[in-house]
Chains A and B, each alone.
Chain A
């Protein structure tokens, strides 16, 4: 298990190094000069040069890469070209919205999907299964912003249980902050739950056909006991894969939902920074998201090994 963990850790570091290089090259190669964007098209050449020197844009590319990566390792993400505030601070603020939102949505999606998937698998081909499958079909097909608008219409405008948008802030107390994230989290969670429930059902159905499930029944376990004790853990591998992918998506992919609910999250930050050619922010947020994705994959890899002893043995 230790070898396995070290191996995965090594691959995590290599992925991070490659990702940082790719992000830097792609964003540097993309046309558009932040200095001229900031000063407008009528700016004088010497003013531009001065600004470039101030931003460090006149240095050779490799040097900028090294200082960018070096800074990031120490937690220094540089200064935003646009706002002249430390990028780390901007990201920090936004992360306190996006990360809880992603976790909240993931928890909701898991809480909906697992029971729904198990229920459908246990009642394969019966009305209960068909009902769940029909609902998930809708969940997959309907975009999350439509859910968002419906939730606002029902719970904010008609029932007035929640506010229609904005973020209360964690300084207003845990529950107040959580409350303002509830509708966005539900909107994000529903389509994800639909996908996850379908994966859970099909993974379980595959496992139910396995010989060891028959062995479990021959031992005297009831259908439900066999499903819980022998089926679930064997069905977890595909489910964990999807769960990992969903978390990565939720962290950055909430951009539309953040717009709909007017939340100051990472998605909005990256959107605004791209519009303003605030390259350093774009680079840093992208890098952060990549880091999160790789970290989640690492966690999923460890979870695989925890679930399946054969993976532990292989490496």
Chain B
């Protein structure tokens, strides 16, 4: 018998149809992945099983969990079910725990609620040990803020499995984590499901994660299930056009044009960047944290350089130093021979030759400005402002270059999708024809199909404009296709650099090898045409 059976589930929230006719089954011990892009209804399906839908929700259809039709249960009965028969793990471990309670208390609370016969703290210690946080190393009295992201996610998992649920729902459990941490958490989930015979509903947008985890895949689009199948079969031979498109986008490759990279442009020489630590003793100078430690590299004109590394490795600090936003303690950064930071302030003559595209296409625009004003912001950096006609011409050119129409100049950012906004961000970076563009996790927040389009756009622009860029990302597969050379950063140092393909096929440094091994990959596909 199935552990979870969803039959013809439809969901309306305030009269908007969110899910229609969703049907899926999960057997005990089975790992089922629900995948699809944002807005496809993956998370809502999970929340419908938990009966934790937002206010104004109206569901039809049948959800049977462990033999009970949960639509017929009262809220009190649902409360008894949640945390006991079904546990849930969320995406964002940094905020999923109560910051003012110890981790022991938070795990013990679930036990106290559902298993009054057990010693709550004893059981909490047991479960935390099981998820890899033994109390002799990580005491139960720790607060969440004293733990790393991966450790917090382990606590969230411990809360979810404390009462030995039959079904575990994991909603993008590793999206916010670094690749090596992601690999550990995925291993843990897989192991828990196998050992306890737990059903695991794994929600993820990342097909590569799915490939390594799931027995079966459910592909969702616009609130409906478009294809279901056994993982190996579905990935090898997807039937539905959307599944095919999703898979193609996930393994998207672009071809970069050849360029002449003999002329040097950006030169980073022995750069050190320290941050002062808070003073601990009154009469002792405060210590410092070395965020960037003796980093040197060159970017030639026409170079397309990737910078990879896990969070906290110093990528962002290095980027800020390159953009001249912060002084460095030692070393030199020059663009075309001129220092980016001189006499205690950013060198404006150099600043106007660099532009940056950020990760968040929603947060990086002033919502009250029209596109024309947003993308012409870099004009402030110029010594002579362009004339009105020239300005208009440049706007048209930039918008056309990124695949938008000149009429879009009169619209506001909220009228665009995430991918379109990232195009606007690229137009803003292009408009003054900078020598160097920094893409700071520029495609990380995008869905795979949109990401594929933006990568194509960048490749096109390389042909048209001879771009030179530094592409910073934690996503190795993206860096592999969009750069010629790659720098691998760890703990403030560049541990390896070289031609992208060479580094990926034959990594020299053990850390590079760890990174590449930890990154989930899709199986090589044989095309069935």
Contact = CB atoms under 8 A, between A and B. Distances in A.
Interface in A185-232: 210-212, 214-222, 229-230
A219 B92 contact: no
A97 B430 CA distance: 71
A307 interface: yes
B143 A310 contact: yes
Contacts of B83: 218-220
Contacts of A219: 82-83, 109-110, 113, 159
B81 interface: yes
B80 interface: yes
B146 interface: yes
B88 interface: yes
Contacts of A221: 79, 109, 113
A220 B80 contact: yes
Contact of B90 (A215, A234, A309, A310): A215
B168 to A, nearest CB: 11
Contact of A211 (B80, B81, B96): B96
A29 interface: no
B505 to A, nearest CB: 40
Contact of A222 (B50, B79, B90, B156): B79
Contacts of A216: 98
B99 A211 contact: no
A234 B99 contact: yes
A30 interface: no
Contacts of A313: 143, 145-146
B143 to A, nearest CB: 4
A222 B75 CA distance: 8
B390 to A, nearest CB: 47
Interface hub of A210, A214, A234 (most chain B Cβ within 10 A): A214
A160 interface: no
Contact of B98 (A212, A217, A220, A222): A212
B145 A212 contact: no
A310 B87 contact: no
Contacts of A61: none
Contacts of B60: none
B98 A234 contact: yes
Interface string B55-92: 00000000000000000000110011111100110101
A313 B160 CA distance: 27
A309 B81 contact: no
B75 A309 contact: no
A123 to B, nearest CB: 12
B87 A218 contact: yes
Contacts of B75: 222
A54 interface: no
Contacts of B52: 214, 217-218
A229 to B, nearest CB: 7
A89 interface: no
Interface in A240-287: none
Interface bin, chain B? 20 to 34
Nearest to A308: B100
Interface residues of A, number: 21
Contacts, number: 72
A148 to B, nearest CB: 39
B143 A309 contact: yes
A212 B98 CA distance: 5
A215 B90 CA distance: 8
Contacts of B146: 313
Nearest to B78: A220
A233 interface: yes
B96 A220 contact: no
B128 interface: no
Nearest to A218: B88
A174 to B, nearest CB: 37
Nearest to A231: B98
B114 interface: yes
Nearest to B169: A218
A210 B83 CA distance: 19
B97 interface: yes
A56 to B, nearest CB: 39
Contact of B100 (A211, A214, A233): A233
Nearest to A216: B98
Nearest to A211: B95
A260 B76 CA distance: 53
Nearest to A125: B55
A227 to B, nearest CB: 12
A230 B82 contact: no
Contacts of A230: 98, 101
> Which among A219, A230, A307, A313 has the greatest number of chain B C-beta atoms within 10 A?
A219
A234 B82 CA distance: 23
A308 to B, nearest CB: 6
B145 A310 contact: yes
B99 A212 contact: yes
Contact of B156 (A210, A215, A229): A215
Interface in B157-191: 159-160
A220 B76 CA distance: 9
A301 to B, nearest CB: 16
Interface in B279-294: none
Contact of A218 (B50, B76, B101): B50
A282 to B, nearest CB: 38
A39 B350 CA distance: 75
A309 B114 CA distance: 27
Contacts of A229: 109
A234 B96 contact: no
A234 B101 CA distance: 10
Contacts of B76: 222
A129 to B, nearest CB: 13
B478 to A, nearest CB: 27
Contact of A210 (B79, B81, B95): B95
A287 to B, nearest CB: 29
Contacts of B109: 219, 221, 229
Contacts of A214: 52, 90, 96
A212 B110 CA distance: 14
A313 to B, nearest CB: 7
B95 A212 contact: yes
A229 B156 CA distance: 17
A229 B80 CA distance: 17
A311 to B, nearest CB: 10
A212 B159 CA distance: 12
Contacts of A218: 50, 52, 82-83, 87-88, 90, 160
A222 B109 CA distance: 13
Given A220-B80, A221-B79, A222-B79, 4 more contacts: A217-B82, A218-B87, A219-B82, A220-B83
Interface of B: 50, 52, 75-76, 79-84, 87-88, 90, 92, 95-101, 109-110, 113-114, 143, 145-146, 156, 159-160
19 contacts: A212-B95, A212-B97, A215-B96, A216-B98, A217-B50, A218-B52, A218-B90, A218-B160, A219-B82, A219-B83, A220-B79, A220-B80, A220-B82, A222-B79, A229-B109, A230-B101, A234-B99, A309-B145, A310-B143
Interface of A: 210-212, 214-222, 229-230, 233-234, 307-310, 313
Pairs of residues from A and B, 8 with the lowest C-beta to C-beta distance, nearest first: A220-B83, A211-B95, A219-B83, A220-B82, A218-B88, A309-B143, A212-B98, A219-B110
